[in-house]
Structure 1
Amino acid sequence: MNRESARWSATLIAPAFVAGAILLTIVIAALGPSAMVPPLPGPGRQPPYSLDLRPDGHLVVALAAVAVVGGAIGLVAGLYGLRRHAAPDVRRTRLLVAAGCLAAGVLAFLPPVGSADHLNYAAYGRIAVLGLDPYVTVPSAVPHDPVAGAVEEWRNTPSVYGPVATGVQALASWVGGDSVRLTVFVLTLVNAAAFVATALLLHRVTRGDPGRQRRAALLWAVNPLVVYQLAAGMHVDTLAVAFVVAALVVESGVLLGLGIAVKVTVGLVALGPAWRHRRDPRRLLLIAGSATLTVAVAYWLAGPHALDQVLNASKSVSFATPWKLVQRALQAVFDDGAYRAWIQTGSLLLMVVLSWLLLRAGAAGRVGSPPGVPESGAGEARLVALAVVVAWLFATPYALPWYDGLALALLAMVPASTLDWFVVGRMALLSAAYLPARQLDQPPDLSWLVTVVRTQVVPWLLLALTVALVWWAARAGARARTRRA
């Protein structure tokens, strides 16, 4: 593509596809209960609001597919055009950030889209308000409760979320009372606030470089995939991302600990500050100590069972990851469960190798910094955090599309690199695999979206993407080593 085509990507294709995808996401939510939007019991005068048109499942799934595919095209066009085109106008970048924040605000007043996880959040908060332990008590144990009884899929699963997430859920339940609708609305407000805070932090941390600011806006604030999965989907990952991004910006162990106490896997980000301050024991002790104390206090208050379900979930294999292919192959030979330790070991080894390769490529200036100009200081911490998180996402046996929000936020904190395309491609594939993530009310003739796309096509495509990432990172590091020699 030449400069003229890059200009078209930046000025025409990207805005049209990005705006269209975000508007489609808003439309899906505004139409009301459907295959994509679980119903919210409660008085209709309470938010979130919708037109309550109850559209056909085929229509809303098709709209979501267009939003995901079109959004991915717009995002890629925008990132490509930014790399090839002239420096962007700072005022237009501010408008992008404002538009993304406005979209998140609008979605806060509409029902969540794509999965039924918010019903689980409401139930766990309700269980806590009732004086029970959400890490032991499952929603089906209180079947006649109007909030716990609304859970669709995790009726027999205790909470897997951290104590800070449970605290937010309990606050929402205290405000919402018997109304699922009002409880979810409080959760959507918190989610929107976290999304907006992250967008503003990323805009601030990239100040002084118009290109990086525009890229940060594209990767988070107006990223149609992020808006769809995290702003409209209302997952706790949004809150966890806000905490760890803030922790990296101000180097706060307390904020890092709060993020971990929302979702324990974001603790991988801690390796960034740890690496940066490896030669400054006092600073390292301060950050690590305050983070550890924050997490310890949160989990102590939550009780002895707060980590039980997290440990169990770590043994699971989700449908769309390449490890599902490995699982099925091993199932043909071994009894159920005999392969779990092998998959866990294999994923850990892949994560270690990929982390090392990405860090080596980063040191060569191929990840997150201009060639020959590796990041240092705060940038170095962000690079290390990014490398480890990306390695984990590509290696973990259990992953869902909204998990990738963390990688995109970290990616927005460092300069552009080839890694952008791998992370964007992965989130697009996983988003296509979970159209929708919700199981109830799906048109029977669309079952192939699960049996073919989610369990066959996407795992193979992600396997190919993972192999390509390993190959690229290995070559980038090897070329730099050759030049130094």
Structure 2
Amino acid sequence: MTSQAGTEPRPTPAVFGASVLIAVSVLLTATIGLLGPSAMVPELAGPGWQPPYSLDLHPAPHLVVALGALAIVAGGLGLLAALGGRWIPPVRFVRGLVMAGCAAAVVLAFLPPSGSADHLNYAAYGRMVTLGLDPYVQGAVDLPGDPVAAAVERPWREEPSVYGPVATAVQALASWVGGDSVRLTIFVLALVNSAAFIATGLLLDRFTRDDPALRWRAALLWTANPLLLYQLVAGLHVDTLAIVFMVAALVLNGTAGAGVMLGLGVAVKLNAGLVALGPAWELRRRPKRLALVAGSALAVAGAGYLWAGGHAFDQVSRAGKAISLASFWRLVQGLLQAVVGTGSAYRGEIQVGAFVVMALLAWALFRLQRPPADAVRVAAVLVVAYVFATPYILPWYDGLAFALVAMLAATGVEPFLVAHLTLLSLAYLPARVEGQSPDLAWLTTVVRSQVAPWTLLALTAGLGWWAWRAGARARRRPE
């Protein structure tokens, strides 16, 4: 859309409606935390004057779950509407949107985390380090009577950490500051998490600053993305820390700094290392530069895991064979058990199948690309294929895919990603066991365990079919 001389393009009614939906979603997300401890918000022990703050109203489970569902649906619909429009706003509008997203991340840091209880695990792992215990060997149950470890909820009380040494170091720092206070420990983690989210948004804004359309997309897909604010910021998930390092690595591509960032990202979550294949592909014909980046990455990640010890890989290896309730691979597992027998979980076979599906999806998505494929494009394709194909998927895992796609011009995968995150978010509403109302058990037994696997299977098949067809059309199109 072009503008007449002296005027700027005005947003269409669809864009205005999308903006309202996005704003409503973020406000609902903040409201859930503001209301205080509930089925969506674990209680945080500690002096009430310490942040994060809430009204401590203890709302009913049905209310907060309904607010969460509304936030997710409004956010998903708003994103789809905004991304589907052709309006490209002026630069000051995009800057305002980026600043609004950053402000929302700051506000959410001062509210109790919501949606899951993973942050309580983080606090306990940091507590173990400060007390001289090994979080890769022991769980919260090994700290009887400790006020921080006591906050960890079922079924994670016996589980050692699956996170990398950088994540553990941040958790230990938060514990050192917070001491016996769960509340203050969580607040420190929330500040780091929000800072990582904001830093990612500013990196993406700078990376895309020369292309107005790309800059607008990046703001929508990351900084002002209500679904990511809901999952990564309000949910306080450590994935945010891995993402900022990986985005920084791609921005610094080809330098020793890129290798350092890759190493730090891998030392937060091991599976984030998939991004490293992007720079490796682009630098494959520049062996000296590749050696510099790879050497820097290995040195940083190696030093971290050397500090953490060999047990840091034990839980990752075990968790890598798990199958989440909402994954469509649960359907495959059930079919194999019905046909072949129930004597096995068939996890090995499912891992092989997932790799094949990921390879097929990546191939179909690569057919959409015109050569040469650069580091960002290769990394984005592989991560998108991974989040759709992996047997163990949780909503916040999608954050890395959104960040990488935000660095590219419109690809066509955006509606699939938004739908994927929306469906997963609804399936894990909330991702807690404790504090749930018995009459809401159908959210787990029906929505998460039955509806979500079938819908995600259909969505994954749809992505593959669309990518294959679109790739075929792109190849027939003249250069």
Give the TM bin, normalised by the shorter chain.
over 0.9
AA aligned to 1:319 is: L
Matches within 5 A, 1:341-380: 341-363=348-370, 380=374
Q: Give 1:299's aligned residue.
A: 305
Deviation for aligned residue 1:289: 1.1
Q: Deviations over 1:218-264 (max 9, x none)?
A: 11111110000001000000000011001100121000110010001
Structure 2 Cα separation of the partners of residues 337 and 105 of structure 1: 47
Q: Give 2:226's aligned residue.
A: 224
AA aligned to 2:266 is: I
Q: Give 1:149's aligned residue.
A: 150
Q: Deviations over 1:96-124 (max 9, x none)?
A: 10000000001111110100000000000
Contact preservation (8 Å) 2:333, 2:345: no
Structure 1 Cα separation of the partners of residues 42 and 129 of structure 2: 23
Q: Deviations over 1:281-318 (max 9, x none)?
A: 01111111111111111000101101100000011000
Q: Deviations over 1:101-159 (max 9, x none)?
A: 00000111111010000000000000111101100011101121110111002101000
1:277 to 274, 283, 287: 283
Q: 1:240 to 1:282 in 2, by over 3 A?
A: same
Unaligned runs of 5+ in 1: 364-373
**1:21 correspondence with 2:22:** no
Contact preservation (8 Å) 1:6, 1:80: no
**1:476 correspondence with 2:470:** yes
Q: Deviations over 1:316-355 (max 9, x none)?
A: 0001110011112222242343511110110011111211
Q: Give 2:213's aligned residue.
A: 211
Deviation for aligned residue 1:477: 2.4
Q: Deviations over 1:366-386 (max 9, x none)?
A: xxxxxxxx566xxx2101000
2:386 to 389, 392, 396: 392
2:191 to 171, 181, 189: 189
Structure 1 Cα separation of the partners of residues 379 and 194 of structure 2: 24
Q: Give 1:369's aligned residue.
A: none
Structure 2 Cα separation of the partners of residues 93 and 361 of structure 1: 28
2:14 to 9, 27, 30: 9
Contact preservation (8 Å) 2:201, 2:223: yes
Deviates more, 1:117-126 or 1:209-218: 209-218
* Residue correspondences, number: 465
Q: Percentage identity across aligned positions?
A: 62
Matches within 5 A, 1:153-192: 153=154, 154-192=156-194
Q: Give 1:123's aligned residue.
A: 124
Contact preservation (8 Å) 1:163, 1:298: yes
Contact preservation (8 Å) 1:375, 1:383: no
Q: Give 2:344's aligned residue.
A: 337
Cα RMSD of the aligned pairs, angstroms, is: 1.5
AA aligned to 2:71 is: A
1:410 to 389, 404, 425: 404
Deviation for aligned residue 1:443: 1.4
Contact preservation (8 Å) 2:282, 2:375: yes
**1:426 correspondence with 2:433:** no
- Partner SS state of residue 362, structure 1: coil
Deviates more, 1:137-146 or 1:471-480: 471-480
Contact preservation (8 Å) 1:9, 1:80: no
Structure 1 Cα separation of the partners of residues 343 and 130 of structure 2: 38
Q: Deviations over 1:52-94 (max 9, x none)?
A: 000011000000000000111111111112xx22x31110111
**1:323 correspondence with 2:329:** yes
2:456 to 462, 471, 482: 462
Q: 1:151 to 1:422 in 2, by over 3 A?
A: same
Deviation for aligned residue 1:478: 2.4
Contact preservation (8 Å) 1:120, 1:151: yes
Q: Give 2:133's aligned residue.
A: 132
AA aligned to 1:102 is: A
Q: Deviations over 1:18-65 (max 9, x none)?
A: 000000100100110000000001111111111100001100000000
Deviation for aligned residue 1:209: 1.4
- Partner SS state of residue 209, structure 2: coil
AA aligned to 1:63 is: L
Deviation for aligned residue 1:483: 4.7
AA aligned to 2:12 is: R
Structure 2 Cα separation of the partners of residues 134 and 334 of structure 1: 37
**1:286 correspondence with 2:286:** no
- Partner SS state of residue 229, structure 1: helix
Contact preservation (8 Å) 1:21, 1:70: yes
Q: Give 2:244's aligned residue.
A: 242
**1:78 correspondence with 2:82:** yes
AA aligned to 1:91 is: R
Structure 2 Cα separation of the partners of residues 195 and 375 of structure 1: 30
